[in-house]
């Protein structure tokens, strides 16, 4: 029973991934590009050598964290579309801290920056959680609005407070605040791979424990599955909502902070919301919000993005094709009912052939 | 043969591997009132779903007015003159009564809905069949009785000849029920045919000409109502002799376990409980009778800490418990079997053992420094599954995969194993099979016999009269009367439920 | 600058920025009134903006000054086509509405920039269109003293059209039988089904109208404001339209009004410079204002009660 359930759980993402790649291939064929060559380039460009691998792993770090953030709120029954804003706030917070306390000892500087970033992300999400818990305001709308407020506010802050006059970027943080050390650069052929990746993996493990072994995680799951029943059972639902949204924002904020310290080393004015926030959602959806699954889904999407860059280097295929593949994959995850129904039919057929294997349900 | 308006021949309906209807045949004459009797889950609703075009039969034939009818959807059934009045009203609360009635068959004038013509047509029908409705009111603002009349009007407006009433009296006051009976007879006199789905024997005697009994998807018998006794109908429905008596031990009922004084509660800006007093003694089951919506839910919510009390006190064992959190109240010794187990009592996608600890997971030894001991949770789960006879694969099975009766046993197990001083049971047997009903009644009796208090809130008068030591009647947020179930008939109870003050009644009698 | 000139500037700028929002918010209203949540409006706008720009660039020399108007229809058509994805996923295949809407928002920029690169030599943005929507002076009406200058001189014709569409949408939803049925499947699809109303059909209608109007909204953005297409042509207008729809309580007239208000808020950074009191306020506050106001309004004035009762819920027959 449990066995077949987990098998079915894997079937949907695998079918979706395959279907997404097929859609990408069809589109490439339509416009006269070679899908096999492109997919090959994509694979080599993302995992083919140690440098590419380093880039892919670095790129999946914030994806893991924004996906985890989305998953936590989603388990509590909320659709936190605020990943981009929370990520931005985290990035901003980490850079601000690192720029203001460059003389702190390395460990304190890094921990302080990460915590500051995570907290800003957490507070940003907490606003939506608080409004949802105490005023019933739809978190879908508030997080969308908070995204844009964060974007414009940070643009303003970078331009007016951090950057020198006329510049659109903050100065770089001191070298010791960076998560990207010489050791790792040597190891990965000067890629941007940094210690943040390991922080993300540890976080996955912590979140897994949180959901499956802790009291608070149980409360979050209960509230997410049935708010009324949880209320009736005595769970403090409002507090649980706030906690879940806080944790969710902390994670996305941490993702931004790690990217700030490990990848960018500064923060710039931007026209659009960072796509990593939305892609994190996509990762979580593909992984069905399972923390372990998120690692694999993030690896896939990160490889697509990094490999996509080399697609347009080695051919004139627009690299946006990988974003189309990603969107298609999520589309198929969304209509998973179709596959589940088909699989269930198949499963019932098999059952009928072996009457002993049946159960009374 | 000529005047058979509906014929269902050898109808079988299979859902997956479950046979809901097994070779059922049924006939309905013009102007006839036919009762369809059966327990919950016997297959009545499935059968009528096919007659009204919502479901397609797996095999069998439906003949209407002598012609085979292929009903692919409700529109075709409607075109053939079949009108369904659903148990759960199919109305749109945000729309007006008028909009609800004409929806799908709107008269048009120059591209827009001709509301004037529609209103005129409906008012004519309303006069003819004595259906009192307010066309301009929003459905969310009208009484349950009027909502039902709107449903009947919807069918009349569509020129239905056959009316299917699905459990029509479930949510009505006795007065509204008798009004419905009048409407039913009026329809029949105008030559309309009626199928009356119910499991209440008395109503059948009152309204129906003929009765078809269904059990486990099969027709057991078709009888003339006038020639059949209630007890015989009951036996056909259940499949064995029904024993109405229950074992009540003499117990000490002196101690006040639970006391409510001058309680007022607000909901949605309205005063739903007004100055209410209520006491439950040790070893006593107090039944709360009343029509749905008269403050029962608000009373339970206030007592269990889910709703704020405006004024008054609630005391358990002499200690005030109002204004405390739901968790504190549960810890003080109140358990509750909520009415809606699927949405309130249980979290269906969690396992049985997780549901069993839903009210105790945060306490030692299950929770330790914020971490949960799943080994202990599952051990306890296995033990309680055995103790409470919950039929399941394992303690890790999802509660959502259990049958209704077994789901309710999970709730009962959790609530009773908390060893409460007061057990609140709200419609504890709604929608569960007979076997589970008897089991749950037994468990409630055990609580009483062990000297604890029980507050039984139920819309089933039979259940209340059978179990309670004392019955109070709620009407519009107040207790309007108290009776002794041993010498009160359901008629008397009905009068009280409809809001007739006990004092006036006494006055009339003396 | 005279008062009437300032007012004229405020008014026309407001309308220019409001027009895309009005169309798109009306689109959202249709979809959600039929019970399908639409967070994919942004994506529909992107498709509308892209397709209208491509059409304008390709046929500008054929249709001349009429090109931007025909482009709107093209944008609407492709928006409708694109929204089919949302309709199929949510109505036929029971996808979560927010997931499906998110797919639209992921897919639209990917697909449109992909095609832009193919059509325009690998560049991520199109050239600027020649035939754009200029301003319009109502003949006759403009001569009314004072008001004529403020309301009807050098203003946005498409915005007036948008307001008219708002009124027409209200009539459609609240006075015609199709509108009644469309709203009924968003309130209680099971009840509608028992009356023989084809739930899926009306939900498709709702979503497709939404796609068409969202496409027009995006097209208006491209034809009158950005004048070309790139990844940042539509940056949040779809979400702002969603907010306008909620702000307007899922009512076409309310959505139109809210969209005009957001248009005003959006135009403030531009017109702020002309208005003495506002010229010292940093533009960031004008940028943030519409979003912050939406949150505040949601918190203070509405909980969640006014949304159509079955908004976001898939209808599964027999359940």
Q: Is residue C221 part of a domain?
A: yes
pLDDT per position as a tens digit, A247-269? 999 999 999 999 999 999 999 99
Query: Nearest chain C Cα to A340, which residue?
Result: C93
At C191 the three-state DSSP class reads helix
Is the pLDDT at A116 greater than 70, yes or no? yes
- Determine the pLDDT at residue B247: 65
Q: Kindly state the average pLDDT of the residues B481-505.
A: 68
Q: Compute the nearest-CA separation of C103 from chain A (Å).
A: 6
More confident residue, A8 or A73: A73
Flag whether pLDDT at A105 surpasses 50. yes
Which residues in chain B (451-510) have CB-CB distances under 8 A to chain C?
none
C311 within domain boundaries: no
Give pLDDT, residue B497: 73
Contact (CB<8Å) A318/C287: no
Question: Hey, what are B38's tokens?
Answer: 């059966």
Q: Is the pLDDT of residue B98 over 90?
A: yes
Nearest to B302 by CA among B342, B269, B264, B270: B264
B326 touches chain A (CB under 8 A): yes
CA distance A72 to A251: 9
Question: For chain A, which chains pass the contact test of at least 3 CB pairs under 8 Å?
Answer: B, C
- Sign, CA dihedral A251-A253-A259-A261, equals negative
Residue B307: closest CA among B273, B357, B257, B259: B273
Instruction: Confirm or reject contact between B344 and chain A (CB < 8 A).
Output: yes
Q: Are strands B470-475 and B478-483 parallel, antiparallel or unpaired?
A: antiparallel
pLDDT in tens, C279-293: 777 778 878 887 888
CB atoms closer than 10 angstroms to residue A213: 14
Contact C196 B75 (CB under 8 A): yes
| Cα(B106)–Cα(C181) distance, integer angstroms | 10
Q: Which domain holds residue C207?
A: 3-301
- Of A49-53, A171-175, B32-36, B166-170, the range with the lowest mean pLDDT is B166-170
Over residues B359-397, the pLDDT tens digits come to: 999 998 899 999 999 999 999 999 999 999 898 889 999
Q: Where are the domains of chain B?
A: 4-238, 256-339+420-506
Q: Specify the CATH number for the domain of residue C45.
A: 1.10.3470
Which member of B330, B361, B393 has the closest CB to residue A359? Answer: B393
Q: What does the pLDDT read at residue C154?
A: 83
Contacts of B227 (CB under 8 A, 6+ apart): none
Give the CA angle between residues B414, B419, B422 to the nearest 5°.
100
Which chain A residues have a beta carbon less than 8 Å from that of B16? 348
pLDDT category of residue C300 using cuts at 50, 70 and 90: confident
DSSP per residue, A95-131: HHHHHH-TTS-HHHHHHHHHHHHHHHHHHHHHHHHHH
Q: Tens digit of pLDDT for each residue in C34-88?
A: 999 999 999 999 999 999 999 999 999 999 889 999 999 999 999 999 999 999 9
pLDDT of A184: 85
What the block records as the tokens of A273 is 């919301």
pLDDT band at A304 (very low <50, low <70, confident <90, very high): very high
Tens digit of each residue's pLDDT (9 = 90 or more) over A179-217: 888 888 888 888 889 999 999 999 999 999 999 999 999
Q: How far is B107 from chain C (nearest CA, A)?
A: 8
Assign B432 to helix, strand or coil.
Answer: coil
What's the sign of the alpha-carbon dihedral A137, A142, A143, A144? positive
> Which structure tokens are listed for B477?
């947020």
Please tell us whether the domain made up of B4-238 is placed in CATH 3.40.50.300: yes
The CATH label, of 3.30.710.10, 3.40.800.10, 3.40.50.300, 3.40.50.720, for the domain at B256-339+420-506 is 3.40.50.300
Query: pLDDT at position B499, please?
Result: 63
Best interface-test mutation with A: which of C36, C117, C247, C306 has the largest number of A CBs within 10 A?
A: C117
Say how many C-beta atoms besides its own lie within 10 A of residue A265's C-beta: 20
Give the relative orientation of helices C237-247 and C41-63 as an angle to the nearest 10 degrees: 120
Q: Do the domains B4-238 and B256-339+420-506 sit in the same CATH topology, yes or no?
A: yes
Residue C206 C-alpha, separation from nearest chain B C-alpha, in angstroms: 17
What is the pLDDT at residue A352?
53
Q: Which residue has the higher pLDDT, B17 or B439?
A: B439
The mean pLDDT of chain B is: 87
With an 8 Å Cβ cutoff, is C121 touching chain B?
Answer: no
Categorize the per-residue pLDDT at A329 as very low, low, confident or very high, splitting at 50, 70 and 90.
very high
**Which of chain B's residues have a Cβ under 8 Å away from the Cβ of C172?**
none
Query: Domain for residue C316, yes or no?
Result: no
Which structure tokens are listed for B308? 């704020």
Does the residue C319 lie in any domain? Answer: no
Query: H or E element: which one contains B494?
Result: helix B490-497
Q: CB distance from C114 to chain A under 8 Å?
A: yes
Note whether residue C314 is domain-resident: no
Tell me what pLDDT residue B241 has. 56
d(CA C316, CA C91): 9
Q: How far apart are the first and last CA of chain C?
A: 65
Question: How big, in percent rounded to 5, are the helix, strand and coil portions of chain B?
Answer: 35, 30, 35
- Residue B503's pLDDT is 43
Q: How far apart are CA A259 and CA A302, in angstroms?
A: 14
* B418 in contact with A, Cβ within 8 Å: no
Q: Do C93 and A338 touch (CB under 8 A)?
A: yes
Q: Where are the alpha helices (DSSP H) in B277-325?
A: 296-304
pLDDT of residue C319: 45
Average pLDDT over residues B341-355: 92
Which DSSP helix (H) or strand (E) runs through A161?
none
Question: Does residue C307 lie within any of the structural domains?
Answer: no
How far apart (Å, rounded) are the C-alpha atoms in residues B63 and B54? 16
Mutate to test the interface with C, among B92, B106, B112, B147 (most CBs of C within 10 A): B92
What confidence category does residue B1 fall into, taking pLDDT thresholds of 50, 70 and 90?
very low
Q: Are residues C193 and B106, on separate chains, in Cβ contact within 8 Å?
A: no
Distance from CA of B74 to the nearest CA of C (A): 5
Please, which chains are in contact with C (at least 3 CB pairs closer than 8 A)?
A, B
Are the beta carbons of C194 and B55 separated by less than 8 Å? no
Q: Do C282 and A282 touch (CB under 8 A)?
A: no
Q: Which of residues 158-177 of C touch B (CB under 8 A)?
A: 171, 175-177
Task: Report the mean per-residue pLDDT for chain C.
Answer: 90
Nearest to C232 among A271, A281, A316 (CB): A271
Which structure tokens are listed for B486?
Answer: 């041993």
ipTM of the modeled complex: 0.91
Dmax over CA atoms of chain B, in Å, equals 78
Give the 3-state secondary structure of residue B14: strand
Position with higher pLDDT, A21 vs B199? A21
What is the set of domains in chain A, with CATH numbers?
34-315 (1.10.3470)
Tell me what the mean pLDDT of segment B45-67 comes to. Answer: 88
| pTM of the predicted model as reported, rounded to 2 decimal places | 0.87
- Comparing CA positions, the residue from B360, B357, B274 lying closest to residue B311 is B274
* Residue C306 located in a structural domain: no
Q: What is the pLDDT of residues A227-242, one digit of tens each?
A: 999 999 999 999 999 9
Number of domains present in the structure of chain C: 1
Alpha-carbon distance values, C220 to B112, B129, C157 (Å): 30, 56, 11
User: Token pair of B420, please?
Assistant: 């409460």
Contact C37, C185 (CB under 8 A): no
B15 has a chain A CB within 8 A of its CB = no
Which pLDDT belongs to residue A213? 94
Residues from chain C that touch A278, judged by Cβ atoms under 8 A, are: 102, 105-106
Residue A357 confidence class, pLDDT cut points 50, 70, 90: very low
Instruction: Summarize the confidence of residues B267-288 as an average pLDDT.
Output: 91
**pLDDT class for A6, splitting at 50, 70, 90?**
low
């Amino acid at each position: 029973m449990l066995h077949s359930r987990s098998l079915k759980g894997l079937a949907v993402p695998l079918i979706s991934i395959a279907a997404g790649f097929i859609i990408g291939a069809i589109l490439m064929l339509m416009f006269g590009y070679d899908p096999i060559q492109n997919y090959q380039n994509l694979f080599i460009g993302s995992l083919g050598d140690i440098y590419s691998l380093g880039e892919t792993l670095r790129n999946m770090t914030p994806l893991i964290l924004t996906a985890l953030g989305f998953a936590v709120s989603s388990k509590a029954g909320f659709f936190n579309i605020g990943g981009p804003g929370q990520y931005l706030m985290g990035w901003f917070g980490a850079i601000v801290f690192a720029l203001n306390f460059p003389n702190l000892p390395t460990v304190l500087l890094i921990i302080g920056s990460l915590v500051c970033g995570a907290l800003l992300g957490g507070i940003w999400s907490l606003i939506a959680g608080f409004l949802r818990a105490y005023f019933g305001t739809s978190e879908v709308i508030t997080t969308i609005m908070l995204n844009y407020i964060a974007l414009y506010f940070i643009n303003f802050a970078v331009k007016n407070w951090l950057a020198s006059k006329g510049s659109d970027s903050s100065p770089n943080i001191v070298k010791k605040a960076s998560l990207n050390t010489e050791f790792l650069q040597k190891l990965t052929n000067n890629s941007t791979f940094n210690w943040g990746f390991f922080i993300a993996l540890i976080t996955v493990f912590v979140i897994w424990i949180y959901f499956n072994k802790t009291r608070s995680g149980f409360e979050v799951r209960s509230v997410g599955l049935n708010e009324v029943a949880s209320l009736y059972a005595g769970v403090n639902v409002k507090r649980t909502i706030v906690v879940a949204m806080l944790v969710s924002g902390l994670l996305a904020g941490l993702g931004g902070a790690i990217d700030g310290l490990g990848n960018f080393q500064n923060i710039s004015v931007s026209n659009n919301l960072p796509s990593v926030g939305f892609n994190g959602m996509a990762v979580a959806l593909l992984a069905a919000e399972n923390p372990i699954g998120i690692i694999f889904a993030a690896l896939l999407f990160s490889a697509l993005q990094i490999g996509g860059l080399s697609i347009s280097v080695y051919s004139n295929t627009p690299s946006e094709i990988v974003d189309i593949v990603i969107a298609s994959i999520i589309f198929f995850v969304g209509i998973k009912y179709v596959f589940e129904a088909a699989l269930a039919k198949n499963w019932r057929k098999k059952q009928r052939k072996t009457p002993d294997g049946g159960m009374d349900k | 043969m000529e005047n058979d308006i509906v014929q269902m021949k050898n109808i079988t309906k299979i859902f997956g591997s479950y046979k809901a209807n097994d070779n059922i045949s049924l006939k309905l004459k013009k102007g006839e009132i036919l009762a369809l009797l059966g327990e919950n889950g016997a297959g009545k609703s499935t059968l009528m779903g096919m007659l009204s075009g919502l479901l397609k039969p797996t095999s069998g034939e439906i003949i209407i007015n002598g012609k085979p009818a292929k009903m692919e959807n409700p529109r075709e059934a409607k075109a053939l003159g079949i009108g369904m009045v659903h148990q759960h009203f199919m109305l749109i609360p945000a729309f007006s009564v008028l909009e609800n009635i004409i929806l799908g068959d709107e008269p048009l004038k120059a591209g827009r809905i001709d509301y004037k013509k529609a209103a005129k047509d409906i008012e004519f029908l309303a006069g003819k069949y004595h259906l009192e409705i307010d066309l301009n009111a929003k459905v969310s603002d009208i009484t349950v009785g009027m909502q039902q009349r709107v449903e009947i009007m919807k069918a009349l407006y569509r020129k239905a000849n056959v009316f299917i009433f699905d459990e029509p009296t479930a949510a009505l006051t006795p007065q509204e029920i008798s009004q419905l009976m009048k409407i039913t007879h009026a329809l029949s006199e105008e030559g309309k045919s009626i199928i009356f789905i119910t499991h209440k024997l008395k109503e059948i005697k009152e309204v129906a000409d003929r009765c078809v009994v269904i059990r486990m998807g099969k027709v057991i018998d078709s009888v003339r109502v006038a020639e059949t006794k209630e007890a015989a109908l009951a036996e056909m429905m259940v499949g064995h002799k029904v024993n109405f008596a229950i074992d009540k031990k003499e117990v000490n009922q002196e101690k006040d376990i639970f006391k409510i004084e001058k309680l007022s509660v607000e909901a949605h800006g309205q005063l739903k409980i007004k100055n209410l007093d209520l006491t439950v003694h040790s070893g006593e089951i107090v039944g709360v009778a009343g029509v749905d919506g008269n403050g029962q839910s608000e009373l339970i919510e206030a007592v269990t800490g889910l709703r704020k009390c405006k004024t008054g006190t609630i005391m358990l064992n002499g200690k005030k418990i109002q204004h405390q959190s739901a968790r504190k109240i549960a810890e003080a010794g109140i358990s509750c079997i909520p009415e809606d187990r699927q949405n309130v009592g249980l979290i269906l996608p969690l396992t049985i053992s997780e549901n069993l600890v839903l009210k105790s997971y945060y306490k030692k030894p299950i929770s330790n420094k914020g971490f949960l001991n799943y080994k202990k949770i599952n051990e306890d789960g296995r033990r309680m599954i055995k103790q409470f006879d919950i039929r399941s694969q394992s303690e890790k099975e999802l509660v959502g995969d259990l049958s209704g009766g077994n789901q309710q046993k999970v709730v009962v197990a959790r609530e009773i194993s908390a060893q409460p001083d007061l057990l609140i049971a709200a419609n504890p047997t709604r929608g569960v099979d007979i076997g589970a009903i008897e089991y749950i009644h037994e468990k409630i009796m055990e609580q009483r016999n062990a000297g604890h208090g029980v507050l039984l809130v139920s819309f089933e008068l039979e259940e209340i009269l059978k179990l309670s030591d004392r019955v109070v009647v709620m009407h519009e947020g107040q207790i309007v009367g108290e009776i002794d179930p041993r010498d009160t008939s359901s008629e008397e109870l009905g009068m009280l439920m409809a809001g007739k003050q006990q004092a006036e009644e006494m006055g009339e009698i003396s | 600058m005279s008062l009437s000139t300032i007012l004229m500037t405020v008014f026309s700028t407001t309308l220019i920025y409001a027009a895309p929002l009005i169309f798109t918010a009306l689109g959202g209203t249709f979809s959600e009134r039929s019970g399908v949540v639409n967070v994919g409006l942004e994506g529909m706008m992107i498709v509308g903006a892209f397709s209208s720009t491509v059409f304008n660039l390709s046929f500008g020399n054929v249709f001349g000054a009429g090109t931007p108007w025909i482009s709107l229809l093209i944008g609407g058509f492709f928006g409708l086509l694109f929204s089919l994805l949302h309709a199929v996923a949510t109505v036929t295949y029971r996808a979560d509405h927010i997931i499906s809407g998110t797919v639209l928002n992921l897919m639209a920029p990917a697909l449109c920039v992909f095609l832009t690169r193919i059509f325009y030599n690998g560049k991520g943005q199109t050239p600027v269109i020649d035939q754009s929507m200029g301003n319009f002076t109502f003949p006759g009406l403009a001569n009314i003293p004072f008001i004529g200058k403020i309301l009807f001189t050098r203003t946005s014709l498409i915005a007036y059209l948008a307001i008219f569409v708002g009124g027409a949408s209200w009539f459609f939803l609240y006075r015609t039988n199709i509108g009644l049925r469309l709203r009924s499947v968003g309130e209680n699809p099971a009840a509608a089904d028992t009356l023989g109303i084809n739930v899926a059909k009306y939900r498709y209608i709702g979503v497709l109208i939404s796609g068409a109007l969202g496409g027009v909204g995006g097209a208006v953005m491209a034809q009158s404001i950005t004048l070309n297409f790139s990844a940042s042509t539509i940056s949040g207008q779809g979400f702002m339209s969603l907010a306008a729809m909620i702000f307007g309580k899922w009512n076409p007239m309310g959505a139109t009004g809210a969209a005009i208000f957001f248009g005003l808020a959006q135009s403030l950074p531009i017109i702020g410079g002309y208005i003495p009191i506002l010229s010292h306020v940093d533009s960031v506050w004008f940028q943030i204002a519409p979003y912050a106001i939406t949150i505040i309004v949601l918190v203070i004035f509405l909980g969640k009660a006014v949304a159509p009762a079955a908004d976001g819920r898939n209808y599964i027959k027999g359940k």
